[in-house]
Structure 1
Amino acid sequence: MHMISEGASGADGVGKAYRFNLAYIWMISAIAALGGLLFGYDWVVVGGSKPFYEPFFHLTTEEQIGWANSCSLLGCLLGSILSGLLSDRIGRKKLLIIAAVLFAVSSIFTGWASRFDTFVFWRIIGGVAIGVASNISPTYIAEVSPAAWRGRLVTLNQLTLVVGILAAQIVNMLIAGDVSATTHEAIRDTWQGQYGWRWMFTAVAVPSVIFFFCAFLVPESPRWLIKMGRRDKAAEVLRRIGGDAYAEDEVRDIEAGIERERSEKGSFGELFAPAVFGLLLTGVGLAVLQQWSGTNVIFNYAEEIYRGAGYDLSGVMFNIVITGAINLAFTLLATATVDRLGRRTLMLWGTAAITIMHALLGAAFFFHIQGPIVLILTLGVIAAYATSLAPVTWVLLSEIFPNRIRGVAISIAVSSLWIACFGVTYTFPIMNQRLGAAGTFWCYGIICLIGFLFIALRVPETKGKSLEDIEAQLAHGKSK
């Protein structure tokens, strides 16, 4: 148990000291965040396996390579839409279980596909699981977290995501081993080219099964329970989180928020009301910026980037693991600082740093500088991304929308994220061919510069506030 003073929203509740059961809070949040781990693994495994499945399926054109890397993102979009439609109907917990099943099934069938169209189909199904997990996991964590702990707990989802990324990169490197073959024909004839890449995909079935069984241990979201009229069950969950006083105050605040929803008759059409539409545009802008910052192409196209910098295939696989380790280290830093420094500060710092790093990366490729310089600059991009856009975007998306339309608004924002992710992943090989690596990274740098200005003008500070307080703040037009 852990004692912490937190101002309650009620007039008579300011300054109350709640006794939070932090072990329980962290346990249920960690279980929900396993969706992030599977998201990270399934999303990045393609980057390390592509040198082997591309020769196996005879993929040679930029369009084929881009489609193989990005097809799962269409499933992510579908999963995000489905989760938005179903989360308020069947609850968060059931969707976590469904995501676990989809991860397990798709990983096995993707790994043992014998034809490219079958491979694509199961990658899309895996993408549906990613889309569901990317939407539901942070939403669930935000809804069970006390306000003072919500930032770091939602960031836990990003932490497990990068652990999944690093796990995929390590598994890929271990399975790939020391590959001396360099041509597609030679790689196709190796064990890695015939079977190794299959085990890279299949490995994610193990944590998927663990997630499936653990998901039955978490309670349903108290906000969803109250919305469904199950007040006593919600109070029971909240008592286990923070004791009787906390449960009483939270139930009162949540019921007041739901009453506002009903009286204001929130609907899809309300998304176009000026105040709400402005918030929706902010959420969509953050989602698109996160992807078009260009950082994720370093994970998905590490082979092309590091080969262009003069590394052989074994060096590429090792460098990929280094990027994952840096990603994990700086995500830990973000977890420790997001509730101290605030969301805006981290986002502004991150976009500024990524802008500078992309400019230097473009210059390195323009002047044909190879080797460690390119590796150091890509690691700098990942470090800045891991402490800002990667985790904080998810925190903000879980916080800035009014309760009455939070589900559909998050679904729209996350759908925009996956559309943007598909676009940047599919177009990178084409941009790299036509603009060169220098021009491509300079384009991403310009986007990040625009993103910096967007955050400075549009993004509110939400640290330390309850979801209800944030809604009231934004309803009165306050951004800081």
Structure 2
Amino acid sequence: MSGKTGNGSIVDLESLKALVAPQNNKIVVDRVAKEGSVRLLPGAKRKRGSSLRQVCASLMANIGTINTGMAFGFPAVAIPQLQEENNGFITIDKYQSSWIASLSAVGTPIGCLLSGYLMDLIGRKRALIITQFPMLAGWLLIGSATSLPMIYAGRLLVGLGSGMVGAPARVYTGEATQPHLRGMLAAIGSVGVSLGVLIEYALGACLLPWKTIAIVSSVVPALALIGALLIPETPSFLMSSGKVESSKKALSKLRGPTCDIDFEAGELQRFAEKNNIHKPTVKETLKGLMQRSTYVPFFILALYFLIYQFSGVNPITFYAVNIFQESGAKMDKHLATVLTGVVRLIFTVVSAGLLRRCGRRPLTFVSSIGCGLTLLVLGTYMYFNSQWIEQGVEPKYTWIPVTALLLFTIASVMGYLVVPWVMISEVYPTQIRGVAGGLTTFSAHFCIFLVVKTYPILQDFASNYGAFWFYGAVSMLGTVFFYVYLPETKGRTLQEIEEYFTGQRDTLKAPKKSKNIPPVIAAPKGNALP
């Protein structure tokens, strides 16, 4: 067997194999025989796919996540308007406002379960398409509401759509991108959420009526629907469905002409055959959920979400305007809220970039320690502020609460608002990634409902400052859990992560480079290989 070098000389490939690998190194010889290319030997690198194509596909898949942020931010601007006397509608009390804030999180867990099932049944792309309709209907219902029950119903529909979009968007991104881009692009969903929050805060700062804000918000799911129609299905899902050629076509669209499509498709097919990957039946899905490779990462992520929700992230997001007003800060409450939204968006983007460099664990520690300290400071200031008010003393150091809340926002988005959402697309077996992702987002949004609904109750029970002391303490204690149980998935392929949770590999740490790997040889300039 022979071939030609770049200058036209004949090369005996069998002799070449013998040169680059000792005869007793069967693994290297087999690899050369299988892949048939010197550039594939250890030490050589393959050409990566088009980053632009993968970024564009990820952006279009994640447009709907902006809606989730808008659902979070809407109560912060609508509730103060509805609590005003003679607002032209009805005046709501503290507990009615808690229902407006939290009802979206009631519909969200249902959407998570539904989308998880739909993802594995009809695919990631079709699930993304379907999820936009309840979001669109919900915003239009709120915008045309003439009674409080209509607002409640609209919030439920918006929450349902928000729950449906979370897992498909992130699973799509994880499966459609290559490892060197996956961590950064999987964080687009978190950037979308932060952008949605900022949009709502900005619309509120412009003093737009809450009905107008709802109508404007309906534009986002309409754009997301168009984006979902334009992207291909993920290669992993197509391969698991036995559609090899369709998987290759999807890879070609996502990677471009520079990538070795056949090799990546071959790897997907090899993994699917090795692990008997196919579209699962209901019985197989239930069995898969009971496997160690599923329940261990679910346990880790479910507790991650519980800790970060009870670290005060969403109470501050949902009640931002009122919290700034109650904190003792002298800055205009709408301006402070918008400033928080801007900081949140900027540092979510920063965090997405840092995921490639720093990994999941270090950024999580930044959040757990940073959020804990800033909320303890905020709670302490609010305690002294309440004492000054009782004593009739002018509040001092009014810059502290604004600074604490801004630093809290920075700390929260560095890890809490990005890392667990990225890991949903990484840690579950391919066979049931959709259902497991749906269950995880279910647990996440159920925690959101719990913390948002109980915030007014916690205020009544422990006072404003006591609530923030509690949230700060939870965040600090969560650091211990993250240190012990949270794995580092940066730079690992989905197959390597799955093998780790099934017990086929002991660690996800990058292997040390062996000094005994034969180098890829190159002929001296002007000479042909023997």
Indicate the residue corresponding to 2:46 in structure 1. 17
Indicate the residue corresponding to 2:341 in structure 1. 324
The alpha-carbon deviation at position 338 of structure 1 amounts to: 0.4
Query: Aligned partners of 1:342 and 1:448: how far apart in 2?
Result: 20
8 Å Cα contact 1:238/1:246 also seen in 2: no
Indicate the residue corresponding to 2:383 in structure 1. 366
Letter of the 1:59 partner, please give it: I
The alpha-carbon deviation at position 24 of structure 1 amounts to: 1.3
Query: Aligned partners of 2:71 and 2:269: how far apart in 1?
Result: 38
8 Å Cα contact 1:65/1:429 also seen in 2: no
Query: Aligned partners of 1:253 and 1:403: how far apart in 2?
Result: 14
SS of corresponding position for 1:389: coil
Query: Aligned partners of 2:259 and 2:142: how far apart in 1?
Result: 50
Indicate the residue corresponding to 1:52 in structure 2. 81
The alpha-carbon deviation at position 274 of structure 1 amounts to: 4.2
Letter of the 1:77 partner, please give it: P
8 Å Cα contact 1:28/1:218 also seen in 2: yes
Deviations 1:247-295 (A, max 9, x none): 2232223223333443898532343344542222012112222322211
Deviations 1:132-185 (A, max 9, x none): 111111111111010011000011221122112111111111134xxxxxxxxx
Letter of the 1:440 partner, please give it: A
Indicate the residue corresponding to 1:144 in structure 2. 176
The alpha-carbon deviation at position 385 of structure 1 amounts to: 0.8
Indicate the residue corresponding to 2:202 in structure 1. 170
Relative to structure 1, is the Cα distance of residues 271 and 450 closer, same or farther in structure 2, using a 3 angstrom cutoff?
farther
Query: Aligned partners of 1:257 and 1:448: how far apart in 2?
Result: 39
SS of corresponding position for 1:113: coil
Alignment of 1:170-319 (within 5 A): 170-176=202-208, 196-242=209-255, 243=257, 246-262=260-276, 267-274=285-292, 276-310=294-328, 315-319=332-336
Query: Aligned partners of 1:217 and 1:103: how far apart in 2?
Result: 19
Query: Aligned partners of 1:89 and 1:54: how far apart in 2?
Result: 44
Unaligned runs of 5+ in 2: 1-29, 386-394, 510-530
The alpha-carbon deviation at position 73 of structure 1 amounts to: 0.7
Letter of the 2:130 partner, please give it: I
Query: Aligned partners of 1:92 and 1:293: how far apart in 2?
Result: 32
8 Å Cα contact 1:284/1:412 also seen in 2: no
Query: Aligned partners of 1:76 and 1:460: how far apart in 2?
Result: 27
TM-score between the two structures when normalised by the length of structure 1: 0.89
8 Å Cα contact 1:80/1:132 also seen in 2: yes
- Alignment equivalent of 1:467, drawn from 490, 494, 500: 494
Letter of the 2:59 partner, please give it: A
Indicate the residue corresponding to 2:350 in structure 1. 333
Query: Aligned partners of 1:398 and 1:289: how far apart in 2?
Result: 20
Letter of the 2:92 partner, please give it: L
Letter of the 1:282 partner, please give it: I
Indicate the residue corresponding to 1:450 in structure 2. 477
Deviations 1:359-411 (A, max 9, x none): 11111111116632111101111101111110111111211122223222211
The alpha-carbon deviation at position 333 of structure 1 amounts to: 1.1
8 Å Cα contact 1:77/1:419 also seen in 2: yes
Relative to structure 1, is the Cα distance of residues 280 and 214 closer, same or farther in structure 2, using a 3 angstrom cutoff?
closer
- Alignment equivalent of 2:151, drawn from 116, 119, 127: 119
Deviations 1:70-126 (A, max 9, x none): 011111111101001111111111222222222222111112211111110111011
Query: Aligned partners of 2:405 and 2:61: how far apart in 1?
Result: 30
Query: Aligned partners of 2:273 and 2:307: how far apart in 1?
Result: 34
8 Å Cα contact 1:261/1:403 also seen in 2: no
Query: Aligned partners of 1:245 and 1:48: how far apart in 2?
Result: 47
SS of corresponding position for 2:356: coil
8 Å Cα contact 2:329/2:399 also seen in 1: no
Does residue 344 (structure 1) correspond to residue 361 (structure 2)? The answer is: yes
Once structures 1 and 2 are overlaid, which stretch shifts more, 51-60 or 126-135? 51-60
TM-score between the two structures when normalised by the length of structure 2: 0.81
Query: Aligned partners of 2:146 and 2:211: how far apart in 1?
Result: 10
Indicate the residue corresponding to 1:153 in structure 2. 185
Number of positions where the alignment pairs a residue of Structure 1 with one of Structure 2: 450
8 Å Cα contact 1:83/1:132 also seen in 2: yes
8 Å Cα contact 2:76/2:322 also seen in 1: no
Identity across the alignment (%): 24
Query: Aligned partners of 2:107 and 2:277: how far apart in 1?
Result: 36
Indicate the residue corresponding to 2:507 in structure 1. 478
Unaligned runs of 5+ in 1: 1-9, 177-195
Indicate the residue corresponding to 2:525 in structure 1. none
8 Å Cα contact 2:80/2:322 also seen in 1: no
SS of corresponding position for 1:58: coil
The alpha-carbon deviation at position 435 of structure 1 amounts to: 0.7
Relative to structure 1, is the Cα distance of residues 462 and 297 closer, same or farther in structure 2, using a 3 angstrom cutoff?
same
Query: Aligned partners of 2:64 and 2:454: how far apart in 1?
Result: 27
Once structures 1 and 2 are overlaid, which stretch shifts more, 238-247 or 376-385? 238-247
8 Å Cα contact 1:38/1:161 also seen in 2: yes
Larger Rg: 2
Higher share in helix: 1
